[in-house]
Amino acid sequence: MQLFRRSLNHLPLALVVGVGGLGAALTVGIWYYFSPRNLQVGYTPKQPIPYSHKLHVGELGLDCRYCHSNVERSPEAMIPPTQTCMGCHAVVRPDSPRLAALRDSWKSGNPVPWVRVHKLPEHAYFDHSVHLPAGVGCATCHGRIDQMDEVRLEMPLAMGWCLECHRDPGPHLRPQTELTNMSWKRDEASTVLAAVSVAAAGVRPPEHCTGCHR
Amino acid sequence: MTNDRVFWRSLEAKAQPEQARERATGSDVVKQSIDAPGLIRLRRRQFLSLSGAISALVGIGCSIRRPVEKIMPYTEMPADVTVGVPSHYASVLTRRGEALGVVVQSSEGRPTKVEGNPEHPGSAGGTDLQAQAALLDLYDSERARTPTLQGAPRTYAEVDAVLAELAGQLAASGGAGLRVLSEPSLSPTFVRLRAALAAKLPNAVFHTYAPVSDSNERAGTQLAFGRPLLVQHRLAGAQVIVALDSDFLMTETGSVEAARGFANGRHMDSAAGKQPNRLYAVEPTLSVTGSNADHRLSLPAQSIAAYAKALAAALVGQGISLGALDSELGRPELAGVASPWTLAVARDLAEHRGASLVIAGSRQPAAVHALAHAMNSALGNVGRTVVYVTPVDAEEPLHFPDIASLARDMAAGKVQTLLVLGGNPVLDAPADVQFKEALAKVPLSLCLSGWRHETGELCTWHVPQAHALESWGDQVSRIGAYSVQQPLISPLFKGRSDTSLLAALLAPAASAVSERDPYLLVKATAAMHGADDERRWQRLLQRGVGPRNVSQITLGGLSLQTAAIQSALRALPEAAQLGLDSLEVVFLADNKLLDGRHANNAWLQELPDPITRITWDNAALIAPSTAQALGVASGDMLRLTSSDARSIEIVAWVQPGQAPGSIGLPLGWGRKRGGKHALGAGFDVYPLRTSGAPHFTAGVKLAKLGTRYPLSQTQEHDVMEGRPIALDATLDAYREHPNFGQRGSPDPSPPPLWKTQDYSQGPQWGMAIDLNRCVGCSACVIACQSENNIPVVGKDQVARGRAMAWLRIDRYYVGDDADQPEVAFQPVSCQHCEQAPCENVCPVNATSHSPEGLNDIAYNRCIGTRYCMNNCPYKVRRFNFLNNNLDIPETQKMVHNPDVTLRFRGVVEKCTYCVQRIQSSKIAAKREGRELKDGDVVTACQQACPAEAITFGDIRDATSAVSRAREVDRNYALLAEVGTRPRTRFLGKVRNPNPEMVG
Amino acid sequence: MSAVHPIGGPIAGPIAEIGETRLLPAHLTPALVSEQVTSVTERPARWGWWLYFGISLLFLGVLAVSVSYLFWEGIGVWGNNSPIAWAWDITNFVWWIGIGHAGTLISAILFLFRQRWRTSINRFAEAMTIFAVICALLFPLIHVGRPWHIYYTLPLPNQMGMWPNFKSPLLWDVFAVGTYFTVSLLFWYVGLIPDLATARDRARSLFRKRVYGFAALGWRGSHRHWRHYERAYLILAGLSTPLVLSVHSVVSFDFATSVIPGWHSTIFPPYFVAGAVFSGFAMVMTLMLIARQVFGLKDMMTLQHLELMNKIMLVTGSLVGFAYATEFFVAMYSGNEYERYAFTNRATGPYWWAYWIMLSCNVLSPQLFWFKRWRTSLPVMFVVSILINIGMWFERFVIIVTSLHRDYLPSSWGYFRPTLVDVGCFLGSLGLFFTLFALFIRWVPQIAMFEVKAILPGAQPNQHRHRVERHEPGHHAPPALASREA
């Protein structure tokens, strides 16, 4: 009784190649597609208040630090308190229906439940206040916020992605004056500038575990 | 809805209008306590537990979106808050008779770390273990949450109503039938209010009681100088110290300051350095102080008086006359005690007039204290090594007679109303006064206490007491420094303070806020003591210490009442004959729980006792020789029966250094109420204690019950097996071989197998631990636990060898006489080896070396092979065998340090040199565009150490404190012969025995 | 049959002068071999097998329960602690790995040395190897604190920019044991093919035909098949041989490269390999004696086989004994106080009993085999083989636990007590092993029939050439020894 036809003589080879290839493909597939680059980037949750960075930053030209005022002195850039919003909106469009939630919060004292977009793993201790002096601009990690109506996750925020910069900061840094400039592009001159600023700032990003994990 | 639940609703961060109102009362910090980011941060530490699930999800790719997370910003930004940056507030804690100035870190509104306040004379920047553990008491979810009437929950409104009514009645009757029982107070405000109340209610009687107190000290000064004074030792200046049953380094009042002074007096920065001090300890039980003594004599407590007399007589022999007392003293020797112990010690004292010190312990009767004062003044020490201070509360009565009289009156029905402001008399009042029975005869009783404990349960009313970190108050330190007790958070369970209760009786609800609000009352007191305008007040809050001293130091006009002392000495009872059928028991203030007030504190419960290394229990300490004679072994259950037929059952522990014929009984254990940790831990010894002999008594019979009781220790092997571990040398040997530290085999420095780290750049972190300064108090251990979120595993797990402490203090017995051992302490945590054996063996690179010389560990990379633990010669790596952070009560979660990840089960952890502190300091420096400077980084253990035994910093900077410490000739690396190149170095201990008493 | 017998090679009979004897009884014919071996898989199983299978399944259940509980609660349900972070888990791992070795040794090395007597036992031994390695692999997997992250130990591309630590002996283990398992499996299966074909050709039911037919991968027994087969088998044997040495050497590095007194020793690799072969042979012996009784295979597993194996055990056992002595000597001679203490502590410390069990089982008991009487007595060799298995388990226990429980700092000395779950996991792994074995002896030809046939008198080409020409279905045997000698 013979199950195998002669034509199947190449089956073993095919199997070896096939299984091997499949394994490789699987590994690479998981590595690439199951990565934050694919799973996280593009996250654009619905916010309780349709706040538009495009309007406030892109068109009105507010500086990031006007609202995220902690960014230079604290690990957390801080979402502004209702207070800050009301600073303007007490007079600007005081009764726009889109700001109802804001006014409620101001009356009741209950915070506005913003949905977090940029989230690092809980065991990664990121500190805004040390990245700014080093010359890391807002747009470097947050993308062109000034062009977003709703805030969208632009960068994968994965460990490997952080390390790219920590291993070779130079190309990613910018002059202190341009930190909050969304549209800043590095041309040749400014590369030199950046290079200089790296040397000057003595930027030595940690690459060891406890640089970020404690 | 209790405040507690509100708080946790605020996990979804509901801002609290009522909190905002409380801000108006001046406690700015309150608002922060509901800060949202902080609460979201709390969840950071659940990461590891989630990681499994997350990786699973990703693994099967079924969820490409993480669970939606909300950010809750403030609605209104508090003035002094930077989200994500902790703020610090000066406050003060009571530690027995001393005020301990502290600086408390507040992370987004919740206190997360207690540290010593360098400005404060009582702490000088150091702390003790109870202070470090205070946070866990604060967040104890088992604290009383609501007032109760006969056990039924009531509201604070009802309490106020009752108090108002009571105030009315009392005002009418002039306080007839009112008794107020409080603990000894250091608070001028409290004393002020009490005086006012006494004036208003002439018929009311005020009592003071604490089971462990400085009552005898007051009696002693009363006897010696005719007025109650506090004794303040200045150990730094003392060359020769004689401790008469005094554990001044651990359980006595002012131990933090004492440890600092003692260490300074002992410090040697080189073999050629100044002469270190010499400590003689005469005591019944091996105490921390005794462990640090150069000569230690174990003597039953009842014989200490006789020894004191013999010593005084010997002094007279040395030409140091005690005036009229000389005739009282008898012969300069004591049966059963080697003659040098009187003659040589006396000579040593005499040779150091003005630079010597005789300290009498709080267990010893007034006469012994008086005799000590007499000796000190004869030796010309007064004003140099000892000063006398007028107490804040001059009216404080002698505790034991006082509580006895109170109980008598209660039993006789003379008491209509009893207010118990703090304390737990039902548990800890002397057995013979039968406080419990007496309490039943009191119509209306109100108990103020943090826990609904033995007393709180039996009183008509129980009112939750606010924790020191929750309420306004003030305290005066021994030498009279005035400090304000600032609340760090609004009372979690809306507790009240003793001050506010007194105020409520004093000022009817109608009267002005200034007379009722503790904040304003304290502010008023502060004004009397120099902080009389807003600026000075703010400065006081900021520094934590007032501009000038409250009570002045008294030296002039002190004359010894020799006649009184004479009669007192005459009245001293003869030491009873001790034998196997008539033993002495000594009641000890417990090293961890003191009188039992910290019994529900899991950190303290799990901390091994500095001497016995027992966790979660106390035991009857018996001398090896006595135990042998009685056929008793450690772990045997015993029944102790006193001469008046009171008896207790307790487990035996054979303790080297215990005086033969004497049994040590640590107080405060075996609680019947007061929280799940307090319950069933150890054995209650109060039932053996009587007002007649509250400190020690003879004639106790011991019987074996024939049963065994399991005890959990963290260290089961007591000797060094002749290995070079905790090194020491006598002064002469040290002067001869300054480098005795290197006596271990030399560092082999094997050729590296692969490219070694480059340590030439940046700061290179290192530590030095001076065994000659370390007194073994264990404050550092709790500090580490608090700073690094180290879990508690419980008695059973400790018994299985799974204690989690990153920093442990090894205790070894040296010498061959089991009844008179020498003791060596050695704090051991990760040594941060430059050639770390643990790093090479980790298959996943979870632990690796940082360019700054730290032995890093990334918890989330660790898969838990435990290979690193095996390969660590110091055995400092800890493994989460079970999920130790399971079911932590919500309130207790607030104790966690937001800057340190909470570890899930299956992960190895260890000392990181407080890397979170290093990083924040570095970032701060970067932000300010400067280089790190020496002292910027202070590890938790270093900060807590009252003796400044630990130095930390950059060893590349030759001028840094740590570099200099590491170069002291006594330095050595632990197990250098293994070739690990540790970054932590030890400085060997120097013992300074009296040549006349050696051999 | 004349006095022509195979052991001395194809031509000559046994040379009486040098004490050669016949290896297989004369009456054995290829048909008989096929019948005896294959029938086991054809006849309905005897009650004995069911009993054995049932008990094994029971223990397998114990494993399932223990491991589930372990994963649910954490490593804490074991007795492991600080300082004894490794205990029964790694003990079992090393023990199982060691047992595996005999299989490879018998099938590969004895094959290369042309030891014909291996033919009756190699199939058995190889199967044991596979199953033992499976049991061994179980323990590293379950002993980690966070098993769901175990893939961190594999060099996979990832988003963290992290790789395993290639310095770590544990990682070497992953590779060494992985390779070992793969090669052993291939080796075993390739060896099976001709016999599976025999089973296929004897099969009556269509189902059996298909199953064995598929497993036999279309083996027809043509000359080309045999030539390819021989070559493949030779190559695999060549591959496995170094593995016998490498795997347990690498395992021993886990200890040898550490700094723990009692672990940190250069003699570990040879010492571990000797021990591995020792324990492996003991296990083969135990299993064979059972199978021999249960399935009546006395003709092929003759007393001579057993005696030869006993000799090997005697040698390896003495080697192990020598290693113990050397360890002690080195420790004492080194003058290193920690080393010295570690070894005196082994013999006299709290775990003295473990040490002396190890010593008496491993070193003393095999000494019986100096005497032919005991070497050839079934009861004796059965008892001794079991003693050796016990002893070798204790060897690992002694090395791991007694070294760890008292190392450098007396303050951190501890004591290990196993819990029920420890025991459950160990017994459970035995359950797994014997369950797999039960299935093996029930469904797979447990003796390499074709190899046995090859050393039958009948297989001598110079006498029975006709048999070579005429291919008899159902009796797959190499056409001529010539091809095998090539």
Torsion of CA C167, C169, C173, C175, to 10 degrees: 10
As a whole number, the mean pLDDT across chain B is 88
Contact B375, B352 (CB under 8 A): no
What does the alpha-carbon distance between residue B901 and residue B911 come to, in Å, rounded to a whole number? 13
Q: What is the pLDDT of residue C468?
A: 40
Lowest mean pLDDT among A36-50, A172-186, B549-563, B620-634: B549-563
Give the pairing of strands B295-298 and B278-283. parallel
Instruction: With cut-offs at 50, 70 and 90, classify the pLDDT of residue A177.
Output: confident
The enclosing H or E element of C137 equals helix C122-143
Residue B10 predicted with pLDDT over 50: no
Q: What angle do CA C263, C267, C269 make, to 5 degrees?
A: 90
Count CB pairs under 8 A between chains A and C.
39
Q: Identify all chain B residues contacting C76, using CB atoms and an 8 Å cutoff.
A: 797, 802, 881-882, 905
Residue B487 predicted with pLDDT over 50: yes
Residue B478 predicted with pLDDT over 60: yes
The pLDDT tens digits for A132-176 are 888 889 999 999 999 999 999 889 888 999 999 998 888 888 888
User: Which sequence spans correspond to the domains of chain B?
Assistant: 11-58, 230-384, 580-713, 728-752+760-995
What does the alpha-carbon distance between residue A137 and residue A155 come to, in Å, rounded to a whole number? 13
Contact B806, B910 (CB under 8 A): yes
Residue A199 predicted with pLDDT over 80: no
Residue B13 predicted with pLDDT over 50: no
Q: Identify all chain C residues contacting B719, using CB atoms and an 8 Å cutoff.
A: 410
Q: Is A42 on the interface with B (CB under 8 A)?
A: no
* CA B558 from centre of chain: 33
What does the alpha-carbon distance between residue A110 and residue A99 come to, in Å, rounded to a whole number? 15
What's the rounded mean pLDDT across residues B619-640?
Answer: 95
The pLDDT tens digits for B661-678 are 999 999 999 999 888 999
Q: What is the pLDDT of residue B25?
A: 34
Question: Could you write out the DSSP letters of every residue in C71-123?
Answer: HHH-GGGSS--SS--SSHHHHHHHHHHHHHHHHHIIIIIHHHTT-GGGGGTHH
Q: Do the chains contact at A206 and B850, CB–CB below 8 Å? A: yes
Chain B neighbours (≥3 Cβ pairs under 8 A) are A, C
Nearest to A111 among B65, B74, B923 (CB): B74
Q: Do the chains contact at C146 and B907, CB–CB below 8 Å? A: yes
Torsion of CA B560, B563, B567, B568, to 10 degrees: -10
Contact A174, A135 (CB under 8 A): yes
Lowest mean pLDDT among A16-20, B147-151, B729-733, C217-221: C217-221
Q: What is the pLDDT of residue C479?
A: 55
The pLDDT tens digits for B171-196 are 889 889 999 999 999 999 999 999 99
Using DSSP's 3-state secondary structure scheme, residue B180 falls into: strand
Residue A129 predicted with pLDDT over 70: yes
Q: What is the pLDDT of residue B648?
A: 95
Q: Compute the nearest-CA separation of C240 from chain A (Å).
A: 20
The pLDDT tens digits for B446-475 are 999 999 999 999 999 999 999 999 999 999
What does the alpha-carbon distance between residue A3 and residue C407 come to, in Å, rounded to a whole number? 62
Q: What is the pLDDT of residue A7?
A: 79
What are the structure tokens assigned to C109, written together? 């090395």
Q: What is the pLDDT of residue B7?
A: 31
Interface test with C, best of B613, B715, B771, B800 (most C CBs within 10 A): B800
What are the structure tokens assigned to C198, written together? 């025999």
Contact C427, C59 (CB under 8 A): yes
* Minimum Cα–Cα distance from B56: chain C residue: C148
Instruction: Tell me how far CA of residue C305 lies from CA of A22, B119, B747, B985, in angstroms.
Output: 45, 87, 55, 63
Nearest to C86 among B797, B810, B870 (CB): B870
Q: Which fold has domain B728-752+760-995?
A: Alpha-Beta Plaits (3.30.70)
Q: What is the pLDDT of residue B1?
A: 32
Longest dimension (CA), chain C: 79
What's the rounded mean pLDDT across residues B893-919?
Answer: 93
Q: Identify all chain B residues contacting C166, using CB atoms and an 8 Å cutoff.
A: none
Interface test with A, best of C151, C152, C158, C208 (most A CBs within 10 A): C158
Contact B828, B876 (CB under 8 A): yes
What does the alpha-carbon distance between residue B251 and residue B597 come to, in Å, rounded to a whole number? 14
List, edge to edge, every strand of the sheet that includes B178-182: B152-153, B148-149, B461-464, B444-449, B417-421, B178-182, B205-208
Lowest mean pLDDT among B216-225, B965-974, C211-220: C211-220
Nearest to A3 among C158, C159, C214 (CB): C214
Chain C neighbours (≥3 Cβ pairs under 8 A) are A, B
Q: What is the pLDDT of residue B18?
A: 37
Domains B230-384 and B728-752+760-995 share a fold: no
What does the alpha-carbon distance between residue B765 and residue B870 come to, in Å, rounded to a whole number? 25
What's the rounded mean pLDDT across residues A113-130?
Answer: 90
What does the alpha-carbon distance between residue C436 and residue C30 come to, in Å, rounded to a whole number? 28
Q: Compute the nearest-CA separation of B17 from chain A (Å).
A: 7
CA atoms within 13 A on the CB side of B20: 13
What does the alpha-carbon distance between residue B601 and residue B611 come to, in Å, rounded to a whole number? 19
What does the alpha-carbon distance between residue C349 and residue B621 come to, in Å, rounded to a whole number? 28
What are the structure tokens assigned to B297, written together? 């004599």
Q: Do the chains contact at C160 and A159, CB–CB below 8 Å? A: yes
Q: What is the pLDDT of residue B32?
A: 33
List, edge to edge, every strand of the sheet that includes B386-389: B230-233, B386-389, B553-554
Residue C295 predicted with pLDDT over 60: yes
What are the structure tokens assigned to B627, written together? 């135990």
Residue type for B955, please? I
The pLDDT tens digits for B27-59 are 333 333 333 333 333 344 444 444 444 444 443
The enclosing H or E element of B810 equals strand B808-814
* CA C348 from centre of chain: 32
Torsion of CA C237, C243, C244, C245, to 10 degrees: 130
Smallest CA-to-CA distance from B67 within C159, A51, A116 is with A116
Residue B576 predicted with pLDDT over 90: no
Q: Identify all chain A residues contacting B850, using CB atoms and an 8 Å cutoff.
A: 206, 208-211
Give the pairing of strands B614-615 and B712-713. antiparallel
What are the structure tokens assigned to B107, written together? 């992370």
Q: What is the pLDDT of residue C474?
A: 55
- Ramachandran angles phi, psi of A160, nearest 5°: -60, -40
Q: Identify all chain B residues contacting A75, using CB atoms and an 8 Å cutoff.
A: 84-85
Residue C480 predicted with pLDDT over 70: no
Q: What is the pLDDT of residue C101?
A: 84
What are the structure tokens assigned to A131, written together? 């990245």
What does the alpha-carbon distance between residue C1 and residue C418 come to, in Å, rounded to a whole number? 60
Residue B977 predicted with pLDDT over 70: yes
What does the alpha-carbon distance between residue B82 and residue B214 come to, in Å, rounded to a whole number? 44
What's the rounded mean pLDDT across residues C6-29?
Answer: 54
Q: Compute the nearest-CA separation of B78 from chain A (Å).
A: 10
Q: What is the DSSP letter of C174?
A: H
Cβ within 8 Å of B, A 139-198:
none
The pLDDT tens digits for C331-377 are 999 888 899 999 999 999 999 999 999 999 999 999 999 999 998 89
Residue A190 predicted with pLDDT over 80: no
Q: Do the chains contact at B915 and A114, CB–CB below 8 Å? A: no
Q: Compute the nearest-CA separation of C316 from chain B (Å).
A: 30
Q: Is B68 on the interface with A (CB under 8 A)?
A: yes
Q: What is the pLDDT of residue B837?
A: 92
Q: What is the pLDDT of residue C469?
A: 40
Q: What is the pLDDT of residue A196?
A: 57
Q: Which domains, ranges and CATH numbers included, belong to chain C? A: 16-461 (1.20.1630.10)
Burial class (CB in 10 A: 0-12, 13-18, 19+), B28: middle
What does the alpha-carbon distance between residue B311 and residue B306 come to, in Å, rounded to a whole number? 9
The CATH class of the B230-384 domain is: alpha beta
Chain A neighbours (≥3 Cβ pairs under 8 A) are B, C
Helix axes C268-295, C122-143, angle to 10 degrees: 120
What does the alpha-carbon distance between residue C104 and residue C94 come to, in Å, rounded to a whole number? 16
**C286 or B13: which carries more pLDDT confidence?**
C286
CATH number for the segment(s) B580-713: 2.40.40.20
The pLDDT tens digits for C144-198 are 999 999 999 998 888 888 899 999 999 999 899 999 999 999 988 998 998 888 8
Cβ within 8 Å of C, A 135-194:
156, 158-161, 163
Check if the interface score ipTM surpasses 0.85: yes
Cβ within 8 Å of B, C 58-97:
73-76, 79-86
Residues in Cβ contact with B279 at an 8 Å cutoff, skipping those fewer than 6 apart: B241, B243, B262, B289, B292, B293, B294, B295
Residue B2 predicted with pLDDT over 70: no
- Ramachandran angles phi, psi of B933, nearest 5°: -120, 160
Q: What is the pLDDT of residue B926?
A: 87
What's the rounded mean pLDDT across residues A26-41?
Answer: 84
Q: What is the pLDDT of residue C419?
A: 95
Residue B295 predicted with pLDDT over 60: yes
Q: What is the pLDDT of residue C46?
A: 80
Q: Do the chains contact at B37 and A76, CB–CB below 8 Å? A: yes
Percent of chain B with pLDDT over 70: 92
Q: Do the chains contact at C157 and A31, CB–CB below 8 Å? A: yes
Nearest to B975 among C408, C411, C415 (CB): C408
Interface test with C, best of B797, B808, B881, B980 (most C CBs within 10 A): B881
Count CB pairs under 8 A between chains B and C.
178
Q: Do the chains contact at C83 and B869, CB–CB below 8 Å? A: yes
Q: What is the pLDDT of residue B559?
A: 87
**B961 or C26: which carries more pLDDT confidence?**
B961
Helix axes C378-397, C352-359, angle to 10 degrees: 140
Instruction: With cut-offs at 50, 70 and 90, classify the pLDDT of residue C58.
Output: very high
Q: What is the DSSP letter of B573?
A: P
Q: What is the pLDDT of residue A197?
A: 60
* Residue B416 burial (CB count, 10 A): 17
Please list, residue by residue across B301-331, b when 16 or more beta carbons sit within 10 angstroms of its beta carbon and e when fewer do.
bbbbbbbbbbbbbbbbbbebebeebeebbee
Question: Helical H runs in C203-302?
Answer: 206-215, 223-256, 268-295
Helix and strand element counts for chain C (H, E): 19, 0
Residue B14 predicted with pLDDT over 70: no
Q: What is the pLDDT of residue C241?
A: 85
In the block, residue with structure tokens 């002439």? B202
Q: Identify all chain A residues contacting C161, using CB atoms and an 8 Å cutoff.
A: 159-160, 163
- Would you give the end-to-end CA distance of chain A in angstroms? 66
